[in-house]
Every structure is written in C-alpha cells, then in structure tokens.
C-alpha cells in the first residue's frame, strides 16, 4: 500500500488537505503529523519519520506563517521555512519520496503590474518571503522529485483567516475599514487541496501557481463575503497606509495559474466560486 504523509496537518491547509486525500486516495495509507510530534527543523525528528515507514508522497504544509512576527523572529522563521524544507528534501532524496512543498506569493515584491508567472524573478520584500524563498530553493535543488505549489490569500475552516475575521467583526457590529489598494487571488483551501492532489498524482513536477482564478482587493473580498453571508455592515475602503504593519504587503499578489490549468486541462475555479463553496457549500 502506498503511503502519503501530511506535515502541518493541524494547520489551515494541512487539515483540509488531509481530509481531501483521505477521501480521494483509495488504497493509500494517509498519515498526518504536526508540531510537536514532529519538528521539521530537527534532523532526528525528520529521520524518524522516514526511517520507520518512508512515505511515497510527503505533503509539507508545516510552516512559520506569522508574516509580521517573522520580521522580529527572522531566525525562527528561517528555521521552519528554510531549514525544515531542506531536511525534508534530503530525506526525500534519500528514500525516493515525492516532496510536495507549499509556498507563497510573498516570494515576489508585488511591484509587477500584471499577474505573476512561475518564471518571474522572485524578490521577496519581507523576512517571511525571504525564508519561504530559501525553502523553495532548497527543495528545488535537493529533492529529486518535487512539486512546489505557490498559493496566496488562503482561507478555509480550521485556521485564522481574513474571511472569518471580517464576518466575525461584522456580526459584532463593528465598523469595518478594509484595504482597497492591494490585489490578490483569494484561495479556498478546499479548491487548493483538490488541485494539489490532482497535480501530484498526475505527475506534475517543478513549480506551479495555484490560486483562485481572477483577482480582487481585500475590500472587494470583504464585500463579497458579507453579501454571501447575508450580513449588512458599514464597510469603508481605505489605503494600505492606514494600516502600517511590520512586514510590507505586496500591492500585487495575483498569481497566474495558466501553467497548472494547461497541465490539468481545464480552468481552475474563480475566487468567487471558492468563496461561495466555503460560505454556502
Ligand atoms: N495562510 C495564507 O494566507 C497563505 C498564503 C500563501 C501561502 N501559504 C502557505 O501555505 C502553507 C500552509 O499555510 P497555513 O495558513 O495552513 O499555515 P498554518 O495554519 O499556520 O499551519 C502551519 C502548521 O505548521 C506547524 N508547524 C510550525 N512549525 C513547525 C515545525 N517546526 N515542525 C512541524 N510543524 C510545524 C504549525 O504548528 P503550530 O500551530 O504549533 O505552530 C501549524 O500546524 C504554508 O507553507 C504557508 O506559507 C499560506
């Protein structure tokens, strides 16, 4: 029986991916691990995972995802986002496993005026983005069989995310001010999980962008979420400068997913479809 291991399976994407793979991968043994039962930054911990029962596919959703916190915890962010993937890559290479690694739009600085394609030169402007890029480079250079999936603006059950935060704030009757000058591709973890599994099992290797098709601003995403949830709220579009953050946000996070679409032979669902699936079903 083939074995698939999901790391970070208690996180927002990892929990969804695990549920999807368990349903989709008949005949596979599917296991999930997370910190502290496994620490991807610890060589012994990673070796233990591979030595007992090496996976055929390893899906790495474990990461340091606190974008602002990474600015003041650079070393810790690099350990999880770069050293961890490097250790996983060596183990995958040693055992012949396929390593699927999830990365981010933050490897780009957001200055481009059109959607980012896989071959655009990365230029991360944040410690988080730099740590994720270092992880990508380790995976690409060490893991013989790898798939790197860059995604963006994730939301889904089981994790802190923008959509839930907005709906919660609106339900509490708070006035909402939402940034309207950053564009991105909101991505439902359900759609992303399905697409990752389709890509890896269909033999995709290398780097692919996978995100909700199309683009919007955070303000537009908030308005759509409120409308779908049937909540009326006072919501005001504002500029990024009204919300100074330790880590600068890319003005353009839009990912061009046509490479994945061409490989899979069909368009990915639009971001509005993903939002509808998440909020309505
Ligand atoms: N969220 C987004 O908007 C977004 C956008 C683009 C790309 N991504 C990427 O998508 C992936 C999944 O993101 P997510 O939002 O689902 O993340 P998440 O909810 O923060 O989950 C990450 C998981 O990794 C675990 N982890 C942290 N350090 C670890 C270690 N040393 N060893 C093992 N596990 C460890 C975390 O455990 P603890 O909770 O105990 O720390 C957590 O369960 C990440 O690679 C992220 O960079 C996310």
What is the mean predicted confidence (pLDDT) over 126-138?
98
Q: Which residues contact 43 (CB under 8 A, 6 or more apart)?
A: 87
Return the ligand 1 atom nearest residue 102 CA: 45
Say what percent of the chain tops pLDDT 90. 96
Phi-psi region of 214 (alpha: psi -120 to 50; beta: other; left: phi over 0): left
**pLDDT for 138 beyond 90:** yes
Q: Whose CA is nearest to atom 43 of ligand 1?
A: 11
pLDDT bracket for residue 256 (50, 70, 90) = very high
Nearest to 152 by CA among 273, 250, 279: 250
Residue 100 domain flag: yes
Q: Tokens 């790197």 correspond to what residue?
A: 148
Residue 75 domain flag: yes
Q: Which residues contact 194 (CB under 8 A, 6 or more apart)?
A: 20, 24
What is the mean predicted confidence (pLDDT) over 162-180?
96
From the CA of 85, how far away is ligand 1's center (Å)? 12
pLDDT (0 to 100) of residue 52:
80
Q: Which residues line ligand 1 (CB under 6 A)?
A: 7-8, 10-14, 34-35, 38-41, 61-63, 65, 80, 84, 102, 104, 132, 151-154, 159
C-alpha to C-alpha distance for 190 and 145, rounded to whole angstroms:
24
pTM: 0.98
pLDDT (0 to 100) of residue 15:
98
Residue 144 domain flag: yes
What is the mean predicted confidence (pLDDT) over 222-251?
96
C-alpha to C-alpha distance for 281 and 278, rounded to whole angstroms:
6
CB 159 within 8 A of CB 11: yes
Q: What is the CATH number of the domain that holds 107?
A: 3.40.50.720
Q: Tokens 């650079």 correspond to what residue?
A: 74
pLDDT (0 to 100) of residue 25:
86
Catalytic residues: 128
Which domain, by its residues, includes 16?
Answer: 2-161+185-213+254-269
- Report the domain count for the chain: 1
pLDDT tens digits, 83-116: 999 999 999 999 999 999 999 999 999 999 999 9
Averaged pLDDT of the chain: 97
Tell me how many degrees the CA angle 107-113-116 measures, rounded to the nearest 5. Answer: 40
pLDDT tens digits, 181-198: 999 999 999 999 999 999
pLDDT (0 to 100) of residue 14:
98
Residue 136 domain flag: yes
Angle between helices 189-201 and 271-279 (to 10 degrees): 120
């Amino acid at each position: 029986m083939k074995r698939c291991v999901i790391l970070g399976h208690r996180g927002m994407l990892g929990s969804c991916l695990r549920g999807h793979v368990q349903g989709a991968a008949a005949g596979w043994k599917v296991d999930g691990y997370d910190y502290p039962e496994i620490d991807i930054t610890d060589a012994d911990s990673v070796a233990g995972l591979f030595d007992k029962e090496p996976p055929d596919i390893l899906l790495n959703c474990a990461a340091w995802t606190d974008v602002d916190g990474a600015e003041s915890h650079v070393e810790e962010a690099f350990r999880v986002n770069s050293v961890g993937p490097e250790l996983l890559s060596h183990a995958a290479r040693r055992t012949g496993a396929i390593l699927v690694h999830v990365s981010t739009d933050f490897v780009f600085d957001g200055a481009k005026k059109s959607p980012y394609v896989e071959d655009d030169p990365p230029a991360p402007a944040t410690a988080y983005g730099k740590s994720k890029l270092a992880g990508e480079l380790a995976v690409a250079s060490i893991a013989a069989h790898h798939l790197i999936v860059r995604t963006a603006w994730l939301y889904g059950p089981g994790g802190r995310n923008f959509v839930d935060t907005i709906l919660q704030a609106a339900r509490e009757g708070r006035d909402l001010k939402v940034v309207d000058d950053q564009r991105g591709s909101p991505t439902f973890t359900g759609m992303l999980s399905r697409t990752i599994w389709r890509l890896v099992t269909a033999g995709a290797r290398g780097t692919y962008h996978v995100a909700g098709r199309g683009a919007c601003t955070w303000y537009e995403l908030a308005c759509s979420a409120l409308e779908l949830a049937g909540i009326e709220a006072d919501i005001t579009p504002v500029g990024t400068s009204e919300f100074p953050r330790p880590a600068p946000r890319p003005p353009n996070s839009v990912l061009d997913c046509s490479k994945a679409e061409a490989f899979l032979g069909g368009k990915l669902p639009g971001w509005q479809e993903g939002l509808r699936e998440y909020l309505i079903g």
